[in-house]
Structures are given as C-alpha cells and as structure tokens.
Amino acid sequence: MFVSNKYRSMNKLVISNLSKTYSNGVKALNSISLNISEGMFGLLGPNGAGKSTLMRTIATLQEADEGSISFAGIDVLKDKDSVRKVLGYLPQEFGLYPKITAETLLNHLAVLKGITNKTERSELIKALLHKTNLYGDRKKNLGTYSGGMKQRFGIAQALLSDPRLLIVDEPTAGLDPNERNRFHNLLCELSENTVVILSTHIVDDVKELCADMAIINKGSVLLQGEPKKLIDELGGKIYKKSIERNEIEDYRANFEVISDRLLLGKPVIHIYAEIPPGNEFELVSAELEDVYFSKIHSS
C-alpha cells in the first residue's frame, strides 16, 4: 500500500544531541544534531567519521547513549517497531544467497515483511524489479549479479515496505561509471516523496545528487547546508599551484593546504587564502571537494 503525497509531506527527520561511545572508548558520535527534510540528503565524511554508526542508530540497529531522533512524529529510539514499518535500509555490506534468484528472494522477504496476499506480493515484486531495472534478470541466481546489480537488488528489497525514510550507506563504492549513473538516477527518482539519506565518502555523489548535505568527522557535524551555497562561500578563496614532490611539506608549513593530488605525476595543491597569496598561485573556482577538504583539514 503506497502512502499518499499529503502524508509524505509530513516526513522530517530530526536528530538532537546524539552521542555514542563504544566499549573500547571510541566516541563514534559526539552530540550530533541534524534536521533532514524530504529529498536527497548527503552525509559526507571520511572512513571512520561516524557515518555508519549514525546510520545504524537511525535504522534502529544499535542504541545511542544520549540524545533523541524523531521521524514524522515517531520517537525512533523508543518506538522501533513503528520506525521499521516506514524504513528502508541498504547497508554498506549486505549478504545475499548466491544460488537463489532475485525474484525468489524478494518473494521470501516480502512474506517476512507481512505481505501475505499472493497477488499483491507478485505485483509489488514485478514493479520493484522494473523500477530497479532487474526484471530481465529476475530468474538469474544472485551469485551471477554484478556489483551494480547487487546494489540495485539491495534497493529493491529496501523498498518492499514502500518506505518514507530510506537510508543508503556507501552505495556506489566499487561501481563502474555506468552502474553508478544508473544508481544515481534510481535514487533521484526515489527521493521525490521520501527522505533519502546518502551516506558516503565520495564527494561527487553528493555534488550530483543532493540539495542538502552535512559533513561529519570524528563523530561531530562540521557543517550543514546547501552544496551550492557552501561552494559560493569559498568563492575567491581557493588557489592552486603545481609543485615538486619535495616541496609539499614546505608549502604545508607556510600555507593552508587543504588538498593535494597528482596531475601528470606532479602534485597540484589547493590552498585556502583570504587574500591573494602571490607566489605564482592561481585563483580557481571553488568546488564541493574544496568545501569538504577545507572542513576536514580544520577539524
């Protein structure tokens, strides 16, 4: 049963002062607060930043030490059953039965989710296989699927309950460019009437998909905002220069180097500067990658 757009318009995820410390002393979440509305929301951060811990907590798979989460009037931390009825979750790693067909496994999962009417279940599975472009491969064993096909199957199973909140954790890691584009198109379609949280360390995924985003590192939110506005705030403050390999530490000591990469075998550095730094630096247009690295660098 699909939820009306009127009801979906109430969808909003509010995270307040959420904290989590593991038994080994690692503080994975440090008083995180975020407001997330319908559409695609990018959660950007390096590996180990706390993204997966936050996603698992929202998905009711682990407890928080402090704080609160609410979604459309549901207390996520206390009323887990109600959350699970409106939640779709694609974790970074998920297991599949390699010798079972996609159609068979979706049917089994639908039964487990309480979709007992055979005709309704069959129509739903057919629709999801078409939506994820897997209908033509529905009779193939999952062990024969490519990485991108497995990710699309993961989305299909996450959509069985027609979720109002969809969480995808590092969904495009390891996908080839064509599969990545297909997956992006699917997520954009799904986000029209749903809160979709895209947790990733790939800056381009957020740049291409998300109207709102946050950057987290070391368990803390460094900033939240619209990617375009965040990029505009760095306008006129990002400079680049090609340097020799043995010069990079000197530049780090004298400038605010936010990133470096190789171009034709030589390092190209980007620096943040309020005033023109001279020294043959070239002013460049800021990108979301500069926003990301400038925040990570200063955290």
Rounded (10°) angle between helices 102-112 and 118-131? 130
Q: Using one digit for the tens of pLDDT, what is the confidence trace for 209-241?
A: 999 999 999 999 999 999 999 999 999 999 999
Query: Is 209 in contact with 226 (CB distance < 8 Å)?
Result: no
Residue where one domain finishes, among candidates 225, 257, 285: 225
One domain for residues 165 and 201: yes
One domain for residues 187 and 286: no
Helix, strand, coil distribution of the chain in percent, nearest 5: 35, 30, 35
One domain for residues 213 and 135: yes
The domain of 135 spans 5-225
Q: Using one digit for the tens of pLDDT, what is the confidence trace for 3-52?
A: 444 444 478 999 999 999 999 999 999 999 999 999 999 999 998 899 99
The size of the chain, in residues, is 299
Q: Helices (DSSP H) in the chain: which residue ranges?
A: 5-8, 51-58, 80-85, 102-112, 118-131, 147-158, 177-190, 203-209, 227-232, 248-254, 288-298
d(CA 146, CA 133): 13
Kindly tell me if the per-residue pLDDT of 54 is higher than 80: yes
One domain for residues 85 and 147: yes
d(CA 168, CA 151): 10
One domain for residues 74 and 48: yes
One domain for residues 141 and 256: no
One domain for residues 175 and 218: yes
Q: pTM score > 0.95 for this model?
A: no
One domain for residues 40 and 92: yes
Residue 213 bridge partners (DSSP): 42, 225
One domain for residues 168 and 25: yes
Domain count, the chain: 2
d(CA 201, CA 66): 26
Residue where one domain finishes, among candidates 189, 206, 225: 225
Average pLDDT of the residues in 97-103: 93
Rounded (10°) angle between helices 118-131 and 147-158? 140
One domain for residues 201 and 249: no
d(CA 239, CA 168): 34
One domain for residues 19 and 99: yes
